[in-house]
């Protein structure tokens, strides 16, 4: 029987590449996004349903899940991919922007998962794959909000792994490094207040580092292939890194104590 994956944030980047990869492998794909018109080309592919889902809008979540099940009969894999990165001095962020970062990356992920779980629980099978980041295991300066959300994704996913294993549902975490996506554009919320002079050296160092790391970023297809592995390898493996830089950073973080690793990041940023 043909399997089905529901993907959030499928309009571009990792979500789009994953939709195309799974469709090419013969799966049914429920490709969800806030603006379905962006997915017109995806919608032309066989066995692809493009529909609206905004992780901040519960009715849209419920409608997309119901439409996907009505179309394909099941949801075997949920990929929680929708999200963005908020960077900058904490003092530069108004509270509504802080709330939006956590609502999108954490609460929205939980809302979509909660909407799909009754279906998977009834089937006693399924896999939930959450897109975290190497930024869920390590941090850069000025990433208080983004890293806060990704550390949360790591923790909730690991706890959920215990919880859902008892009913036959797997949980996986994919941790990409720097990926050639629009993370630096529409998926990047950078705030700065130049009157906060004390933070400006960190701002300049971070921007230079991101430019440098971006030059060696992996293609979204690299992450799509790792997601495919996580969805189909039949193991209880919890975490998967994606990208050579992710593997290198994770190895360094595991091998070094806090002072050594943080010192290396500061040196890289010239702080």
Tens digit of each residue's pLDDT (9 = 90 or more) over 16-67: 999 999 999 999 999 999 999 999 999 999 999 999 999 999 999 999 999 9
Which candidate in 87, 133, 137, 150 is catalytic?
A: 150
**Any catalytic annotation for residue 11?**
no
In the CATH scheme, what is the code of domain 4-268?
3.40.50.720
Domain ranges of the chain: 4-268
**173 vs 150: CA distance, rounded Å:** 11
For residues 271 and 107, the model is more confident at 107
- The question of whether 146 is a catalytic residue gets the answer yes
Closest residue by Cα to residue 187 from 86, 79, 38, 55: 86
- Catalytic annotation, pick one of 11, 87, 137, 146: 146
Distance CA 98, CA 100 (A): 5
What's this model's pTM, rounded to 2 decimal places? 0.95
From the list 11, 132, 133, 218, the catalytic residue is 132
| 132 is annotated as an active-site residue | yes
61 Cα distance to chain centroid: 17
CA distance 200 to 202: 5
């Amino acid at each position: 029987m043909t399997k089905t994956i529901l993907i959030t944030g499928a309009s571009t980047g990792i979500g789009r590449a994953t939709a195309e990869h799974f469709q090419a492998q013969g799966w049914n794909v429920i490709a969800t996004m806030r603006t379905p018109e962006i997915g017109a080309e995806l919608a032309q592919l066989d066995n692809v349903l493009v529909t609206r889902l905004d992780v901040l809008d519960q009715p849209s979540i419920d409608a997309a899940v119901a439409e996907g099940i009505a179309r394909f009969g099941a949801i075997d894999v949920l990929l929680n991919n929708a999200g963005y990165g908020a960077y900058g001095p904490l003092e530069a962020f108004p509270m509504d922007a802080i709330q939006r970062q956590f609502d999108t990356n954490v609460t929205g992920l939980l809302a979509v998962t909660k909407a799909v779980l009754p279906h998977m629980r009834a089937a006693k099978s399924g896999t939930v794959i959450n897109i975290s980041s190497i930024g869920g295991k390590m941090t850069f300066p000025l990433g208080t909000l983004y890293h806060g959300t990704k550390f949360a994704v790591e923790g909730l996913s690991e706890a959920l792994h215990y919880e859902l294993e008892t009913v036959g549902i797997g949980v996986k975490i994919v941790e990409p490094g720097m990926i050639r996506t629009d993370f630096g554009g529409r998926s990047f919320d950078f705030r700065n207040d130049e009157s906060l002079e004390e933070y400006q050296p960190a701002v300049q160092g971070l921007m230079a580092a991101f430019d440098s790391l971006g030059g060696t970023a992996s293609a979204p297809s690299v992450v799509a292939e790792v997601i495919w592995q996580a969805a189909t390898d039949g193991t209880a493996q919890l975490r998967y890194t994606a990208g050579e830089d992710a593997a290198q950073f994770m190895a360094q973080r595991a091998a070094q104590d806090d002072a050594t690793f943080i010192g290396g990041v500061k040196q890289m940023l010239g702080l």
